[in-house]
Amino acid sequence: MKIQSLRGMPDLFPDDLKKWHMLEKKLYQAFDAFNIQEIRTPILESTELFDRSVGNSSDIVNKELYSFLDRNQESISLRPEGSASVIRAIIQKKQEHEKHKLWYQGPMFRYERPQKGRFRQFHQVGIEYLGYEEGLSEYEIIALVIKIIDRLGISGSTLKINHLGDKVSKENFCQALQNFFKPHLSKLHKKDIFRLNTNPLRILDSKENSTQVLLKDAPNFEDFISDKSKALLQHISQHFSDQCNINIDSSLVRGLDYYTGLVFEVVSDELGAQDAFLGGGRYDNLSEELGGKSMHALGFAIGLERVISLMQSEESNLRKKVALIIVDEQDHEKTYKIAHDLRAANFDITLDAFLSNSSLKSQLRRANNTQCDFAIIIGSQERDTDQFTWKDLSEKGDQKSLSFQELMTLYKNL
Ligand code: HAM
- Ranges of residues in the chain whose predicted pLDDT is under 50: none
Query: Vertex 227, ends 224 and 228: CA angle to 5°?
Result: 120
- Which are the contacts of 24, defined by CB distance < 8 A and separation ≥ 6? 105, 125
How far apart are alpha carbons 405 and 414 in whole angstroms? 14
Closest residue by Cα to residue 359 from 396, 319, 323, 329: 329
In the prediction, which pLDDT does 57 show?
A: 64
Contact 372, 321 (CB under 8 A): yes
**Pocket of ligand 1 contains residue 351 by CB under 6 Å:** no
Does the CB atom of residue 55 touch ligand 1 within 6 A?
Answer: no
Q: How far is the CA of 277 from the centre of ligand 1 (A)?
A: 8
Model pLDDT, residue 274: 87
| Cβ–ligand 1 contact at 105 (below 6 Å) | no
pLDDT of residue 257: 79
Look at residue 77 in the predicted model and tell me its pLDDT. Answer: 96
- According to the model, what pLDDT value does residue 170 have? 84
What pLDDT, on the 0 to 100 scale, is given for residue 383?
Answer: 78
Measured from the CB, is residue 301 less than 6 Å from ligand 1? yes
pLDDT of residue 313: 58
Ligand 1 closest atom vs CA 126: 30
Ligand 1 pocket, mutate which of 54, 85, 122 (most atoms under 8 A from CB)? 122
The answer to pTM > 0.85 is yes
Element (H, E) at 75: strand 75-78
